[in-house]
Structure 1
């Protein structure tokens, strides 16, 4: 089902003049494209479908197994005597054929097969959560690539504006030198500053090219003019965010399902001590159309295996304990990640406030120094230094604004809500249950459900 984009409505671009009549590329469209064209997501969706098939295969072991076999044999015999007796060799040939149909059914195995089925179902749930983790990683990479392109573009725009200002200052210095107000040294300082600005512009343009390359890798297409991005909606407090993460984060849910798998495997290992009972029957027809039937029940139980079964039980318990430890470690890691994300958000917001004040102060200082330089009270170097301070302050502010937006999406990822469904992306959200429902009953390839599965897989393959 397609979901229209809701709260994630993205606005106009950073440099409106450079956009012209072009339509801004939004973060929502980049996220949607990245979601729909991610090879990593396709890979892990296929792995989930493979896990679904493990459930079908486990279920199939509880059903009757039918098989047939056919055999044809040619037998010969020869008899040779001495030629002096007048008797020559006698050859005989015999051809025999038979066809057999065999059926077998597991009647009882102490619950091993049933536990195996339950274990596979728990593994499917665990794999679904791993897929959600991959989805978050894919979308977070898109967000980071999008914002880094905007950061690099902002730096290039600032550097170009700075280059224009330095060019103007150089012309003014040359004019003042011609009338004898300043020395040749002042002109040289302006020329050196201009050369440095051109070098920095080239470096920033290189960073922009790299950011665009990462965008293509993350999204699957080249970026257009990028629009502004509002901050994501995040929980109002750290405690609330951590509570959400403990309930919803896919890493924690995967660890919980892993514990379930381990506990089921303990029961399966203990069930290996019990007897196994199976029913089998065979119908055989030979080339004389004579038939024979055989039906029987087989029971067996391992009485002694050299300690192997006891070792398997202990091993299963050790793996359960390891899974429990992994859950504790994962929970603490998630708590730490949420706390770090909120710390980054707080730092970015504080930096925006401080940088804003710095920009205003640097602008006042630059305007004043430039005016004083015109009156001869300041040198060209003073003006160039003030201009550099203003550029640095503007760059810091632009970077802090990017960092604030990035931090809000990091918070979403840290609590497990950076998904296509939570963001309301206008995409066909992948349903991990749909394929499972088609295969969980282990349909045969000739059934209607099996044919429907073939059509689904053909569509996926295209």
Structure 2
């Protein structure tokens, strides 16, 4: 009785330690280097906005010099020195700086949406890795059971041969099927090792005991039309493409504006004559206006900016086509795998009944050992087909969610700390404790 209690406790502990898909995605979100790198890309884009804004700000610099001049004219030689400050500011540059700021802000938006798209891609890869490990482990177990069954048939065939009730052909066929089963089992082991390595790559640690439970039904759309509408409106890759188009347009405006008038202000104040004993100070202020009148040919920078604008629009259309295709493929995959699951479920039940019937016939001498082995192989094949169809349906479902732009930590409800677009953890503001007139907590 005590042993039974210990065994139950061990099973309970194993169940508690099983890692769910939600736990795997949570760990990946917090530790995956691709997601962390995407946050850094957003931060870098933020610095681009600050750099563009700095073009309208004044610059102040200090300079000092000392030297000596030799000349055959005595009044022109001797030591010279100076020290001073200079102030420079662009007052007007044909709105080129304004266009540069807008381009930088659009680039920042593209980086934000690109980071969200990276998050989706990583989480989808985690789902695929998780499902593949669970599936390959079940296939390994099925093929291990097949080896045990074939080994039992080999022993039975040899026993019947010794009793004079069987033939060497039965033994040879059983041995050959055992060799095939062992090779098939080793192939399943190799597939499992590959999937476990892929799991460690995307999740960030080796797979332990995986629960294999999936909960995605609430995220699936009601129809293909609804999925396409959501995808073409909210997918972060499309939003990033739209932002890149805006950035290219503003970059074109900046390039064109740079060929317009420019007005700048310069101010200087300084002193000189320290080495000569007669110190003097001077100050100046000036406005400089430059207006281009004629250029011999169209500057290639304008054409390059125009090409970049057209190219960004074409890339946006290409991204839209890819997303629409992904939605349609995932939707078709769900429907196909659902039908295949129904068929495979019926096939498993039928093949098991057929196997039992062949075993009964073999005991009565009406079926050979090879018939039994063929029937058992058929059971294993349809069981693997059912498991594969179930896993493919799960992957197709999450692929559809990702194609709609909904496979994010927020929409999945992952238990992660909220972060800003640049990856900084949002610390919740704690409301100050309320006290009464005497300072006591209410």
TM-score of Structure 1 vs Structure 2, range by shorter chain = 0.7 to 0.9
Alpha-carbon distance in structure 2 between the residues aligned to 1:280 and 1:180: 113
2:234 equivalent to 1:248 = yes
Task: Call closer, same or farther: CA 1:349–1:173 in 2, change over 3 Å.
Answer: same
Tell me the equivalent position of 2:295: 305
Alpha-carbon distance in structure 1 between the residues aligned to 2:80 and 2:179: 98
Q: Once the two structures are superposed, what CA deviation does each residue of 1:225-262 show, in whole Å capped at 9, x if it has no partner?
A: 11113242311111000000011111211221122223
Alpha-carbon distance in structure 2 between the residues aligned to 1:18 and 1:167: 33
Alpha-carbon distance in structure 2 between the residues aligned to 1:167 and 1:129: 57
| Greater Cα offset, 290-299 or 40-49 | 40-49
Q: Of 169, 179, 197, which residue of structure 2 is paired with 1:213?
A: 197
2:145 equivalent to 1:156 = no
Structure 1 residue 46 displacement after superposition:
1.4
Structure 1 residue 152 displacement after superposition:
1.0
- Consecutive unaligned residues of structure 2, counting only runs of 5 or more, are 1-9, 425-442
Structure 1 residue 153 displacement after superposition:
0.4
Equivalent residues of 1:341, 1:410 under 8 A apart? yes
Q: Of 244, 254, 258, which residue of structure 2 is paired with 1:268?
A: 254
Tell me the equivalent position of 1:450: none
Alpha-carbon distance in structure 2 between the residues aligned to 1:408 and 1:61: 49
2:225 equivalent to 1:225 = no
Tell me the equivalent position of 1:25: 19
Structure 1 residue 158 displacement after superposition:
0.4
Structure 1 residue 191 displacement after superposition:
1.9
Q: Once the two structures are superposed, what CA deviation does each residue of 1:437-461 show, in whole Å capped at 9, x if it has no partner?
A: xxxxxxxxxxxxxxxxxxxxxxxxx
Alpha-carbon distance in structure 2 between the residues aligned to 1:318 and 1:184: 78
Alpha-carbon distance in structure 1 between the residues aligned to 2:298 and 2:184: 69
Alpha-carbon distance in structure 2 between the residues aligned to 1:182 and 1:365: 23
Alpha-carbon distance in structure 2 between the residues aligned to 1:404 and 1:171: 40
2:36 equivalent to 1:50 = no
Tell me the equivalent position of 1:392: 381
Q: Of 59, 69, 83, which residue of structure 2 is paired with 1:65?
A: 59
Give 3-state SS (helix, strand or coil) of 1:61's partner.
helix
1:171-210 matches, cutoff 5 A? 171-210=155-194
Alpha-carbon distance in structure 1 between the residues aligned to 2:107 and 2:190: 46
Tell me the equivalent position of 1:430: 419
Alpha-carbon distance in structure 1 between the residues aligned to 2:105 and 2:41: 14
Tell me the equivalent position of 1:291: 281
Equivalent residues of 1:181, 1:376 under 8 A apart? no
| Greater Cα offset, 315-324 or 333-342 | 315-324
Q: Of 406, 418, 427, which residue of structure 1 is paired with 2:395?
A: 406
TM-score of the aligned structures, taking structure 2 as reference length: 0.87
Structure 1 residue 137 displacement after superposition:
1.4
Q: How many residue pairs were aligned?
A: 408
Structure 1 residue 77 displacement after superposition:
7.7
| Greater Cα offset, 34-43 or 266-275 | 266-275
Tell me the equivalent position of 1:458: none
Give 3-state SS (helix, strand or coil) of 1:69's partner.
strand
1:97-112 matches, cutoff 5 A? 97-112=81-96
Structure 1 residue 20 displacement after superposition:
4.7
1:137-156 matches, cutoff 5 A? 137-156=121-140
Equivalent residues of 1:231, 1:405 under 8 A apart? no
Equivalent residues of 2:21, 2:214 under 8 A apart? no
Tell me the equivalent position of 2:433: none
Equivalent residues of 1:19, 1:225 under 8 A apart? no
Give 3-state SS (helix, strand or coil) of 1:308's partner.
coil
Task: Call closer, same or farther: CA 1:166–1:17 in 2, change over 3 Å.
Answer: farther
| Greater Cα offset, 229-238 or 336-345 | 229-238
Structure 1 residue 374 displacement after superposition:
0.3
| Greater Cα offset, 300-309 or 60-69 | 300-309
Alpha-carbon distance in structure 2 between the residues aligned to 1:78 and 1:274: 48
Alpha-carbon distance in structure 2 between the residues aligned to 1:20 and 1:229: 15
Give 3-state SS (helix, strand or coil) of 1:282's partner.
strand
Structure 1 residue 423 displacement after superposition:
1.2
Give 3-state SS (helix, strand or coil) of 2:56's partner.
coil
Alpha-carbon distance in structure 2 between the residues aligned to 1:434 and 1:95: 58
Q: Of 211, 222, 225, which residue of structure 2 is paired with 1:236?
A: 222
Tell me the equivalent position of 2:409: 420
Q: Highest relative contact order (Cα 8 Å, sep 6+), 1 or 2?
A: 1
1:362-401 matches, cutoff 5 A? 362-401=351-390
| Greater Cα offset, 129-138 or 405-414 | 129-138
Task: Call closer, same or farther: CA 1:152–1:314 in 2, change over 3 Å.
Answer: same
Structure 1 residue 65 displacement after superposition:
0.6
Alpha-carbon distance in structure 2 between the residues aligned to 1:434 and 1:251: 19
Computed over aligned residues only, the root mean square deviation of the Cα atoms, in angstroms, reads: 2.5
Alpha-carbon distance in structure 1 between the residues aligned to 2:220 and 2:145: 35
TM-score of the aligned structures, taking structure 1 as reference length: 0.83
